[in-house]
Amino acid sequence: VRRAEAVDPLAGHPYVAALESSLFSPPDPAGVDRAELRELVRRAMVVERDGLYFAPAAVEAAARRVAVLLVEHPDGFTVAQARDALGATRKHVLPLLAVLDSTGVTRRRGDLRVGGPRLPAA
Q: Are residues 70 and 84 in the same domain?
A: yes
pLDDT tens digits, one per residue of 3-34 = 556 667 788 899 999 999 999 999 999 999 99
Q: Are residues 93 and 63 in the same domain?
A: yes
For residue 108, is it within any domain?
yes
Owning domain of residue 76:
56-115
CA distances from 10 to 21, 40, 46, 49 (A): 17, 7, 11, 20
- pLDDT band at residue 122 using 50, 70 and 90 as cut-offs: confident
Q: Please report, rounded to a whole number, the percentage of residues in the chain having pLDDT higher than 70.
A: 94
For residue 104, is it within any domain?
yes
State how far the Cα of 122 lies from the Cα of 75, in Å rounded to an integer: 15
120 φ/ψ angles, rounded to the nearest 5 degrees? -70, 160
Q: Are residues 50 and 68 in the same domain?
A: no
